[in-house]
Structure 1
Amino acid sequence: MGSSNEQDEDHHERQQRKCLWVNGPVIVGAGPSGLAAAACLSQNQIPSLILEKSDCIASLWQYRTYDRLKLHLPKHFCELPLMGFPQNFPKYPSKDQFISYMESYASHFSIHPRFNQTVQSAEFDSVSGFWRVSTQDSDYISRWLVVATGENAEPVIPDISGIERFTRTVVHTSMYKSGSEFKNQRVLVVGCGNSGMEVSLDLCRQNAIPHMVVRNTVHVLPREMFRFSTFGIAMGLLKWLPLRLVDKILLLIANLTLGNTDQLGLRRPKTGPIELKNATGKTPVLDVGALSQIRSGKIKVMEGIKEITRNGAKFIDGQEKEFDSIILATGYRSNVPSWLKMCDCFSKDGMPKTPFPNGWKAENGLYTVGFTRRGLLGTASDAMKIANDVAEQWKDGKNCCNSYVIFLKESECK
Structure 2
Amino acid sequence: MSSELKCFWILGPVIIGAGPSGLAAAACLKQKGIPFLILEKESCLASLWKLKTYEHLRLHLPKKFCELPYMSFPQEVAVYPTKQHFIIYLEAYAKAFSIAPMFGQEVKSVTYDSYIGIWRIVTSEFIFVCRWLIVATGENAIPTIPDISGLRDFQGKLLHSSNYMNGEEFKGSKVLVVGCGNSGMELSLDLCNSGAQVSLVVRDKMHILPRDMLGTSTFALSIRLLKWFPLRLVDCFLILCSLLILGNTQRFGIIRPKAGPLELKKAAGRTPVLDVGTIAKIKTGKIKVVRNIQRFVPRGAEFAGGKMEEYESIILATGYRSNIASWLKVDLCQKDNYPKNLNPNSWKGEYGLYSVGFTGEGLFGASIDARRVAEDIASLWNAETKHVYSEPDLCVYN
TM-score range (shorter-chain normalised) is over 0.9
8 Å CA contact 1:277, 1:373 repeated in 2: no
8 Å CA contact 1:357, 1:372 repeated in 2: no
* Distance (whole Å) between structure 2 residues aligned to residue 307 and residue 321 of structure 1: 11
How far apart are 1:237 and its partner, in Å?
0.5
Aligned partner letter, 1:192: C
- What SS class does the counterpart of residue 107 from structure 2 fall into? coil
* Distance (whole Å) between structure 2 residues aligned to residue 51 and residue 279 of structure 1: 33
Aligned counterpart, 2:378? 391
How far apart are 1:168 and its partner, in Å?
1.2
- Within the candidate set 363, 372, 378, 2:350 is matched to 363
How far apart are 1:180 and its partner, in Å?
0.4
- Within the candidate set 309, 323, 330, 2:297 is matched to 309
Q: Equivalent residues in 2 for 1:248-263 (5 A)?
A: 248-263=236-251
Aligned counterpart, 2:394? none
* Distance (whole Å) between structure 2 residues aligned to residue 100 and residue 281 of structure 1: 30
Distance 1:317 1:75, change over 3 A: farther
Q: Does 1:333 align with 2:342?
A: no
Aligned partner letter, 1:27: I
Q: Does 1:318 align with 2:306?
A: yes
Aligned counterpart, 1:108? 96
Aligned partner letter, 2:375: N
* Distance (whole Å) between structure 1 residues aligned to residue 155 and residue 233 of structure 2: 49
* Distance (whole Å) between structure 2 residues aligned to residue 82 and residue 398 of structure 1: 28
- Within the candidate set 120, 124, 140, 2:128 is matched to 140
Aligned partner letter, 1:106: A
Aligned counterpart, 2:186? 198
- Within the candidate set 337, 349, 352, 1:350 is matched to 337
How far apart are 1:198 and its partner, in Å?
0.7
Aligned counterpart, 2:84? 96
* Distance (whole Å) between structure 2 residues aligned to residue 338 and residue 227 of structure 1: 45
* Distance (whole Å) between structure 2 residues aligned to residue 27 and residue 318 of structure 1: 51
How far apart are 1:398 and its partner, in Å?
4.3
* Distance (whole Å) between structure 1 residues aligned to residue 143 and residue 184 of structure 2: 14
* Distance (whole Å) between structure 1 residues aligned to residue 263 and residue 22 of structure 2: 27
Q: Does 1:36 align with 2:24?
A: yes
Unpaired segments ≥5 residues, structure 2: 392-398
Aligned partner letter, 1:166: F
- What SS class does the counterpart of residue 20 from structure 1 fall into? strand
Aligned partner letter, 1:370: G
- What SS class does the counterpart of residue 106 from structure 1 fall into? helix
* Distance (whole Å) between structure 2 residues aligned to residue 136 and residue 210 of structure 1: 43
Aligned counterpart, 1:4? none
Q: Does 1:126 align with 2:114?
A: yes
Aligned-residue Cα RMSD (Å) equals 1.2
* Distance (whole Å) between structure 1 residues aligned to residue 331 and residue 150 of structure 2: 36
1:316-352: CA deviations, max 9, x gaps?
24321000000000011111111110x2331122221
* Distance (whole Å) between structure 1 residues aligned to residue 109 and residue 259 of structure 2: 38
- What SS class does the counterpart of residue 133 from structure 1 fall into? strand
1:292-333: CA deviations, max 9, x gaps?
110111100000211111100001243210000000000111
8 Å CA contact 1:303, 1:317 repeated in 2: no
* Distance (whole Å) between structure 2 residues aligned to residue 57 and residue 171 of structure 1: 24
Q: Equivalent residues in 2 for 1:175-186 (5 A)?
A: 175-186=163-174
Aligned partner letter, 1:265: G
- Within the candidate set 349, 362, 370, 1:375 is matched to 362
Q: Does 1:163 align with 2:151?
A: yes
8 Å CA contact 1:337, 1:349 repeated in 2: no
Unpaired segments ≥5 residues, structure 1: 1-9, 408-414
- What SS class does the counterpart of residue 120 from structure 1 fall into? strand
1:52-102: CA deviations, max 9, x gaps?
111111111000100110011110011001111011101000000000000
- What SS class does the counterpart of residue 363 from structure 2 fall into? helix
* Distance (whole Å) between structure 2 residues aligned to residue 20 and residue 228 of structure 1: 50
Aligned partner letter, 1:73: L
How far apart are 1:280 and its partner, in Å?
2.3
* Distance (whole Å) between structure 2 residues aligned to residue 275 and residue 336 of structure 1: 28
Aligned partner letter, 1:402: V
Aligned partner letter, 2:338: M
Q: Does 1:402 align with 2:391?
A: no
* Distance (whole Å) between structure 2 residues aligned to residue 92 and residue 217 of structure 1: 27
- What SS class does the counterpart of residue 263 from structure 1 fall into? helix
Aligned counterpart, 1:6? none
Distance 1:76 1:314, change over 3 A: same
How far apart are 1:241 and its partner, in Å?
1.1
Aligned counterpart, 2:395? none
* Distance (whole Å) between structure 1 residues aligned to residue 177 and residue 295 of structure 2: 14
Q: Equivalent residues in 2 for 1:185-334 (5 A)?
A: 185-334=173-322
* Distance (whole Å) between structure 1 residues aligned to residue 34 and residue 257 of structure 2: 45
Aligned partner letter, 2:3: R
Aligned counterpart, 2:41? 53
* Distance (whole Å) between structure 1 residues aligned to residue 47 and residue 269 of structure 2: 22
Aligned counterpart, 2:396? none
How far apart are 1:14 and its partner, in Å?
2.7
Q: What TM-score does the superposition give when structure 2 sets the normalisation length? A: 0.96
* Distance (whole Å) between structure 2 residues aligned to residue 317 and residue 149 of structure 1: 43
Q: Does 1:76 align with 2:64?
A: yes
Could you tell which deviates more after superposition, 92-101 or 239-248?
Answer: 239-248
8 Å CA contact 1:278, 1:373 repeated in 2: no
* Distance (whole Å) between structure 1 residues aligned to residue 337 and residue 305 of structure 2: 35
- What SS class does the counterpart of residue 337 from structure 1 fall into? helix
